[in-house]
Homo-oligomer: A and B are copies of this chain.
Amino acid sequence: MARVAVQEADFASGEEIAALIRGRTDIGGIGCFIGTVRETAAGRRLVAMTLEHYPAMTARALQAIAAEAETRWHLLGCTVIHRVGRLLPGENIVLVAAAAAHRQAALEATGFLIDWLKTRAPFWKKEHFLQGGDAWVAARSEDEAAASRWQTGGAIP
């Protein structure tokens, strides 16, 4: 069963990775991705970003995404943590991690988790600009394309 969390507080990447391995000797590799707030968006400087979500749906969506990864890649552990609220440049936004017997499964599952999360979990980012004003981030067609790679089931190229 995956560990899934939505929280305002920061997370400790090392602790999350260590928790996947602790007490186990069947894991050969752990893939991990951590997303962080960039200070510049399309040439404009940010002072902060606000992450809004749909609480009743978010945990379910993340569990579904993690369960799909666990099944497809026979994962031995899976963690998805997403922060919400106001975040400053350089801060952590999201962590996904996948433990498997072999590295290819761990790394593919990691890519899948973040691609699907970006297109299937109900989070919305608002950017607050240094020059004043703010704007909701528009969805990127590249993210849809990245997620669509995983549509056909099974492993990928």
Interfacial residues, chain A to chain B (CB-CB below 8 A): 12-15, 17-18, 21, 23-40, 89-90, 92, 101, 103-104, 106-107, 110-111, 114, 146, 156-157
Chain B residues, CB < 8 A from A114: 103, 107
> Contacting A30 at CB < 8 Å: which of B34, B37, B111?
B34
The answer to whether residues A13 and B24 also contact, given A110-B31, A110-B107 and a CB cut-off of 8 A, is no
Chain B residues, CB < 8 A from A29: 33-36
> Are A107's CB and B33's CB within 8 A?
yes
A66 CB, min distance to chain B CBs, angstroms: 17
Q: From DSSP, what is the main secondary structure of chain A's interface residues? A: mixed
CA distance A111 to B38 in the complex (A): 23
A119 CB, min distance to chain B CBs, angstroms: 13
Copy number in the complex reads 2
What would be 29 A-B contacts, judged by CB atoms less than 8 Å apart?
Answer: A12-B14, A13-B13, A14-B14, A14-B18, A21-B92, A25-B37, A25-B39, A25-B89, A25-B90, A26-B38, A26-B39, A27-B36, A27-B38, A28-B35, A28-B36, A28-B38, A29-B35, A29-B36, A30-B34, A31-B31, A31-B32, A31-B110, A32-B33, A32-B34, A33-B106, A107-B107, A107-B114, A156-B157, A157-B157
